[in-house]
Amino acid sequence: MQIPIVAIDSYFYGKFTAVFWNIVKYNVFPDSSRGPDLYGTEPWYFYLLNLSLNFNILLPMALFSLPALAITYRVDRRRLGVAVSSAEQSSPFRLLALRLLPLYTWLVIMSAQPHKEERFMYPVYPLVCFNAAVTTYLLRGWIEIAYINITKSPYRVGFNYPASYISTDTC
């Protein structure tokens, strides 16, 4: 996809131009004559404050998603399905962890940059929602386990009912 973009940009600028590389070079590898700090800097926690204004309770839930996954691994391994111990198949916990990591990665990389703007957070808005949704799902599982253990109830939402519970009679 980048080849046509580089070709068009190079044609119109009159020299080889890779805009995506220029953005990375300017923001990640600045020198004394140019760089992002020319336009002001913010403390490392700027994005956390900004995202907390935009997402309220969802931000802490999103940030808790990876620890929640680790707790669920210890408490309720069946929550994400039974893992097959095979070299050909990855663990569902590992796969979900890989899907949760981009939010953390983006926050670490962007918080390390001196120049910060809210628009740099737009790409992670869906990730915040996804990570918070995963935390909600995992917390619901913990509540179900606690309820079953405390009440000794046969209630099981997260698992299939035995065939004896399913009635084929209709009213």
User: pTM for this structure?
Assistant: 0.72
User: What is each CA distance from 118 to 29, 49, 85, 154, in whole angstroms?
Assistant: 20, 11, 44, 49
Q: Count CA within 13 A, CB hemisphere, residue 106.
A: 18
Could you tell me the maximum CA-CA distance found in the chain, to the nearest angstrom? 80
The domain spans of the chain are 1-34, 39-155
**HEC assignment per residue over 11-34:** HHHCCCCCHHHHHHHHHHCCCCCC
Instruction: Let me know: does 124 contact 107? Beta carbons within 8 Å.
Output: yes
| pLDDT tens digit at each of 171 positions of the chain | 778 888 998 999 999 988 888 777 776 777 777 766 677 788 999 999 999 999 999 999 999 999 999 999 988 888 887 656 666 677 889 999 999 999 999 999 989 888 788 888 999 999 999 999 999 999 998 888 888 888 887 766 655 544 443 444 444
Neighbours of 128 (CB within 10 A): 22
Q: Collapsing DSSP states into helix, strand and coil, what is residue 156?
A: coil
